[in-house]
């Protein structure tokens, strides 16, 4: 009888404590600090717990969202395929602490692990946000969750991307010297994955506080790599960044770096923050973070100007709806800039873009996938023949921030880096037996 009473007391205490917390949160939430409290919970609670409190504290909003959920599908269902989705928790292997990601107030998040992926001869390579390298055979990783260390001489404070072309590996990242941050790019030949010796092939000279972008791809029909650059996007309070239109700055550009002599030239300019890059012998595509609204997919053409910060379909983060004029010019073409293939309104926190092999499924032929960070979705996209518009897009809910994606033709799987849980996400066609 005593044991039963103690159990009941514990349950009542938990219920009472939860009730007090909800009342306290509700009081602050509706006491002029709505945005700050909401973002505090969103940043520090798991998505499931945040959703629970959001339903309690914003019932009208939650009801509207549920009633607006017309014809939405959730994994394993998609429009044409049923997909299997699995996760492998790598958080303890890739990071020993919770890290903060994002660069604008209200959009920063605490995540378990942020990392990047590449594939080389049946092996997955992992680059952690703090610049460490690991590998393992894909099949071995699936059966036994283990990462093997790659000994290297990289000297970075924070990593931005990993890219492999044939047997050459490239790593981009940030080096901090005193109060300044610089983007650096390293190249190394892969002879043995246990150890890679890197050579520094690029160092920026401009002193910056916060550097983003750093995505890399091969420039076909040349001996160069293409690199995206962005820095101090929000440094000016007015939201205007002069660097993308200034040819004396490397930032807000894509750069073509010659691998023979490490010289570079500006390939395109007028970019805000490209964190997704795809290149083949026909097309170069970039996914670009806009301001508040206006994430873009762009077709990158040599010598072209993409308009930032003059033209954008988004608005400043502190923009408030009114009858005043827009913060930026919405038409790019009318003032001499290249229009995006597509703009996401509202923003999705756009990240990586990859092409899916036609071997994946007869139903997903000529498809690309675009990932999102704050949106927690991937988008299945098909472009027209000239890459001038999107024919269709399908929104597929994953439930976590997705930083990077790759496709493995050997196994017909889509892999993604899931930041909230620090996991490797595995997406493949569901096989019915």
**Dihedral, CA atoms, 376, 382, 383, 389, nearest 10 degrees?**
-60
289-340 pLDDT, tens digit each:
999 889 999 999 999 999 999 999 998 877 665 556 678 888 999 999 999 9
Q: Please answer whether residues 426 and 88 qualify as being in contact, where contact means their C-beta atoms are separated by less than 8 angstroms.
A: yes
* Whole-number Å distance between alpha carbons of 153 and 433: 48
Residue 376 has pLDDT above 70, yes or no: yes
- pLDDT of 420: 93
**Where is average pLDDT lowest: 93-97, 101-105, 301-305?**
101-105
* Whole-number Å distance between alpha carbons of 365 and 263: 38
What are the C-alpha distances in Å from 421 to residues 11, 17, 87, 99, 373? 29, 27, 9, 12, 13
Q: Please answer whether residues 371 and 276 qualify as being in contact, where contact means their C-beta atoms are separated by less than 8 angstroms.
A: yes
220-254 pLDDT, tens digit each:
989 999 999 999 998 776 667 999 999 999 999 99
Q: What whole-number percentage of the chain has pLDDT above 70?
A: 81
Residue 49 has pLDDT above 90, yes or no: no
* Whole-number Å distance between alpha carbons of 131 and 156: 6
What is the distance of C-alpha 250 from the center of its chain?
A: 22
364 upstream amide cis, omega within 30 of 0: no
Q: Please answer whether residues 169 and 161 qualify as being in contact, where contact means their C-beta atoms are separated by less than 8 angstroms.
A: no
Residue 178 has pLDDT above 90, yes or no: yes
Is pLDDT larger for residue 330 or for residue 390? 390
Give the CA count within 13 Å in the CB-facing half-sphere of 319. 17
* Whole-number Å distance between alpha carbons of 9 and 29: 30
pLDDT confidence band for 261 (50 / 70 / 90):
very high
Residue 1 has pLDDT above 60, yes or no: no
Q: Please answer whether residues 155 and 175 qualify as being in contact, where contact means their C-beta atoms are separated by less than 8 angstroms.
A: yes
Residue 30 has pLDDT above 50, yes or no: no
User: What is the C-alpha radius of gyration for the chain, rounded to an integer number of angstroms?
Assistant: 23
Is pLDDT larger for residue 29 or for residue 419? 419
Q: Where in the chain is the domain with CATH 2.120.10.30?
A: 74-429
**Where is average pLDDT lowest: 8-17, 362-371, 391-400?**
8-17
Beta carbons within 8 Å of 85's beta carbon, 6+ residues apart = 75, 76, 398, 425, 426, 427
- pLDDT of 31: 45
| Across 91-113, average pLDDT | 77
| Across 369-381, average pLDDT | 96
Mapped onto helix, strand or coil, the DSSP state of residue 384 is coil
| Across 56-84, average pLDDT | 79
* Whole-number Å distance between alpha carbons of 278 and 285: 5
* Correct CATH for 74-429 of 3.40.50.300, 2.120.10.30, 4.10.1240.10, 3.40.50.20: 2.120.10.30
Strands (E), 38-132: 83-89, 99-101, 109-111, 115-120, 123-128
309 upstream amide cis, omega within 30 of 0: yes
Tell me the average pLDDT of the chain.
88
The DSSP bridge pattern shows strands 264-269 and 274-279 to be unpaired
Sheet holding 284-288, edge to edge: 274-279, 284-288, 295-299, 342-344
- pLDDT of 62: 66
- pLDDT of 50: 67
**Where is average pLDDT lowest: 88-97, 177-186, 223-232?**
88-97
- pLDDT of 360: 96
pLDDT confidence band for 111 (50 / 70 / 90):
confident
* Whole-number Å distance between alpha carbons of 230 and 143: 39
- pLDDT of 229: 98
pLDDT confidence band for 20 (50 / 70 / 90):
low
Residue 265 has pLDDT above 90, yes or no: yes
| Across 28-44, average pLDDT | 56
Q: Please answer whether residues 325 and 338 qualify as being in contact, where contact means their C-beta atoms are separated by less than 8 angstroms.
A: no
**Where is average pLDDT lowest: 71-75, 110-114, 137-141?**
71-75
| Across 355-370, average pLDDT | 96
* Whole-number Å distance between alpha carbons of 7 and 1: 10
| Across 362-387, average pLDDT | 96
Closest C-alpha among 427, 373, 405 to residue 119 = 405
Query: 29-37: long-range contacts at Cβ-Cβ below 8 A with a sequence spacing of 24 or more?
Result: 29/57, 35/106
Token pair recorded at residue 144: 């036994």
* Whole-number Å distance between alpha carbons of 112 and 405: 18
DSSP H or E run through 174? strand 168-177
Residue the block writes with tokens 């920026």: 204
Whole-structure pTM value? 0.87
Question: Could you tell me the sign of the dihedral formed by the alpha carbons of 68, 315, 342, 354, in that order?
Answer: negative
Closest C-alpha among 150, 197, 115, 203 to residue 424 = 115
Is pLDDT larger for residue 54 or for residue 343? 343
pLDDT confidence band for 46 (50 / 70 / 90):
low
* Whole-number Å distance between alpha carbons of 312 and 306: 9
């Amino acid at each position: 009888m005593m044991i039963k009473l103690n159990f009941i007391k514990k349950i009542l205490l938990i219920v009472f404590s939860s009730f007090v917390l909800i009342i306290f949160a509700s009081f602050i939430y509706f006491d002029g600090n709505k945005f700050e409290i909401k973002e505090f919970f969103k940043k520090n609670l798991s998505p499931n717990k945040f959703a629970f409190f959001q339903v309690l504290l914003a019932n009208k909003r939650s009801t509207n969202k549920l009633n607006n959920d017309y014809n939405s599908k959730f994994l394993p269902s998609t429009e044409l395929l049923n997909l299997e989705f699995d996760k492998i928790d790598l958080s303890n292997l890739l990071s020993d602490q919770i890290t903060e990601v994002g660069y604008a107030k209200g959009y920063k998040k605490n995540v378990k692990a942020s990392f990047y992926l590449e594939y080389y001869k049946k092996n997955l390579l992992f680059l952690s946000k703090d610049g460490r390298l690991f590998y393992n055979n894909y099949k071995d990783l699936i059966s036994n969750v283990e990462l093997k260390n790659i000994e290297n001489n990289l000297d970075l404070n924070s990593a931005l991307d990993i890219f492999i072309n044939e047997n050459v590996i490239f790593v981009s990242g940030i080096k901090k010297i005193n109060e300044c941050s610089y983007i650096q790019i390293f190249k190394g030949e892969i002879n043995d994955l246990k150890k890679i010796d890197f050579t520094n092939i690029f160092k920026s000279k401009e002193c910056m506080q916060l550097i983003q972008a750093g995505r890399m791809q091969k420039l076909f029909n040349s001996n160069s790599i293409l690199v995206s650059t962005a820095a101090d996007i929000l440094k000016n309070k007015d939201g205007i960044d002069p660097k993308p239109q200034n040819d004396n700055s490397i930032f807000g550009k894509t750069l073509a770096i010659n691998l023979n002599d490490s010289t570079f030239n500006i390939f395109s300019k007028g970019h805000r923050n490209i964190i997704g890059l795809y290149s083949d012998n026909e097309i170069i595509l970039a996914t670009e973070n806009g301001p508040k609204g206006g994430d873009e997919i762009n077709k990158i053409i040599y010598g072209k100007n993409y308009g930032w910060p003059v033209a954008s379909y988004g608005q400043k983060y502190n923009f408030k709806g009114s009858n005043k004029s827009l913060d930026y010019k919405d038409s790019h073409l009318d003032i001499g800039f290249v229009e995006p293939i597509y703009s996401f309104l509202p923003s999705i926190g756009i990240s990586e873009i990859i092409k899916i092999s036609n071997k994946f499924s007869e139903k997903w032929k000529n498809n690309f996938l675009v990932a999102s960070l704050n949106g927690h979705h991937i988008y299945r996209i098909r472009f027209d023949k000239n890459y001038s518009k999107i024919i269709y897009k399908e929104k597929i809910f994953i439930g976590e921030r997705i930083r990077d994606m790759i496709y493995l033709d050997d196994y017909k799987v889509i892999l993604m880096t899931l930041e909230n849980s620090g996991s490797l996400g595995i997406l493949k066609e569901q096989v019915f037996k």
